[in-house]
């Protein structure tokens, strides 16, 4: 298979018909979901209000560092911004209602922005998990909390936008942003839900059984459009899925399939696979079995312990753990050794699997973590 393929950036470069000529599609949703990772500078104050700023006016060299340098792939983010700034489909779309919050106390990482395609059509984009440990922990908190802080914020944000704009609304996001989009679309007020056309979840986590026990989840109809790569990790964290999903072909390997810039696009739609590949999960099957049978209190203790170990690295981001692996990984190993033996049995495999999943592959890390994982029994032998 050729290494050459079209992705969301190529779509933004080549599909030039306006939204008046062709209605919003799920690749457009991925475009907006990727743009939601941008950090809007304070100088672009209009984007923080409903006044808004045109996408083309965000493409300024003096803003590049703040806009793109804190995302996972700064060059891809800059390339996408350049493409949409030049494209008649996107360049005059207004970016407005930018809202961001990172609160370690409440374990919340939240960001949203809205894209006004016209006076009557608005896309609400929720940012996915960023590089912070706080952001990743909030994802895992979903396994025992029925409404994590960002989900509550997502509903409030959607209601606020609905009060500020007229007409139709779409919601979407990548990774955790997809989960927030679906949650907000389901849990908002009935009069708001009537205006929501579709909630797009691009490899977003599912929901706990307790969350989906609410009767508002029983009539999703065509509300949700979920897309996941063929070896989905994040999108399959929870077995409770909000509806059937489409499997997108990704040119990534392993966890990197989660990268939206590796999703293959043909024309105005994704290239689809017929089914998921084996092993589409982040944890060992034994850990999944343990989580499935654990109480909410046990799950909470598990998540607190896993992220306590990761925080022992002295870093606040996954990127920091990777960059300084010579010092961070030994600290993590030491923290695991100091755990109570009952915690150690379950936590060790989880910590190693999280690191394998979240960090780019490095031979040195693979060797150290692989050797350590063999030294301590995993949950299967607990």
pLDDT at 167 over 90: yes
Domain boundaries 8-273, corresponding CATH code: 3.40.50
Comparison of pLDDT for 113 and 221, the residue scoring more: 113
At residue 380 the predicted structure's pLDDT band, cuts being 50, 70 and 90, is very low
pLDDT value at residue 101: 87
Residue 226's pLDDT band (boundaries 50, 70, 90)?
very high
Question: Over the stretch 169-192, which tens digit does the pLDDT of each residue have?
Answer: 999 999 889 999 999 999 999 999
Mean pLDDT across the stretch 305-331?
83
The full set of domain ranges for the chain reads 8-273, 285-381
Predicted confidence at residue 336, as pLDDT, reads 81
Most confident of 140-144, 274-278, 293-297: 293-297
Mean pLDDT computed over every residue of the chain: 83
Distances (CA, A) of 91 to 27, 70, 81, 241, 284: 16, 23, 10, 35, 45
- Locate tokens 């960059």: which residue? 323
pLDDT at 286 over 70: no
3-state helix, strand, coil in the chain (%, to 5): 50, 15, 35
d(CA 349, CA 372): 10
Contacts 24+ apart (CB under 8 A), 54-60: 54/91, 54/92, 54/93, 54/94, 54/95, 55/81, 55/84, 55/85, 55/90, 55/91, 55/92, 55/93, 55/94, 55/95, 55/115, 56/84, 56/85, 56/86, 56/91, 56/92, 58/85, 58/95, 59/85
Residue 377 has a pLDDT of 46
Tell me, what's the pLDDT at 106?
66
Q: Specify the pTM.
A: 0.82
pLDDT of amino acid 107: 67
């Amino acid at each position: 298979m050729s290494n050459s393929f079209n992705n969301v950036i190529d779509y933004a470069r080549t599909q030039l018909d306006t939204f008046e000529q062709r209605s919003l599609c799920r690749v457009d949703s991925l475009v907006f979901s990727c743009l939601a990772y941008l950090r809007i500078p304070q100088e672009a104050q209009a984007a923080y209000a409903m006044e808004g700023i045109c996408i083309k006016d965000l493409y300024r060299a003096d803003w590049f560092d703040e806009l793109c340098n804190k995302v996972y792939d700064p060059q891809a983010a800059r390339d996408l911004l350049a493409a949409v700034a030049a494209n008649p489909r996107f360049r005059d779309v207004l970016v407005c209602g930018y809202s961001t919050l990172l609160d370690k106390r409440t374990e919340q990482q939240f960001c949203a922005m809205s894209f006004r395609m016209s006076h009557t059509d608005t896309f609400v984009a929720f940012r996915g998990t960023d590089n912070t440990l706080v952001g990743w922990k909030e994802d895992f908190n979903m396994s025992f909390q029925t409404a994590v802080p960002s989900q509550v914020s997502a509903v409030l944000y959607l209601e606020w936008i609905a009060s500020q704009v007229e007409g139709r609304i779409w919601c979407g996001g990548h990774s955790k942003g997809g989960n927030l989009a679906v949650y907000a679309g389901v849990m908002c007020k009935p009069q708001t839900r009537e205006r929501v056309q579709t909630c797009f979840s691009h490899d977003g986590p599912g929901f706990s059984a307790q969350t989906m026990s609410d009767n508002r989840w029983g009539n999703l109809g065509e509300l949700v459009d979920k897309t996941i790569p063929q070896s989905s990790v994040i999108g399959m964290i929870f077995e409770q899925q909000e509806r059937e999903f489409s499997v997108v072909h990704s040119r990534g390997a392993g966890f990197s399939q989660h990268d939206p810039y590796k999703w293959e696009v043909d024309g105005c739609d994704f290239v689809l696979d017929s089914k998921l590949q084996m092993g589409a999960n982040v944890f060992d099957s034994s850990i999944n079995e343990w989580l499935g049978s654990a109480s909410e209190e046990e799950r909470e203790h598990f998540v607190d312990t896993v992220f306590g170990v990761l925080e022992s690295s002295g870093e606040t981001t996954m990127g920091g753990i990777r960059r300084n692996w010579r010092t961070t990984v030994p600290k993590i190993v030491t923290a695991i050794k100091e755990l109570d033996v009952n915690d150690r049995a379950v936590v060790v495999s989880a910590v190693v699997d999280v690191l394998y999943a979240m960090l780019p592959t490095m031979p040195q890390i693979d060797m150290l973590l692989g050797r350590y994982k063999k030294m301590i029994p995993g949950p299967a032998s607990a």
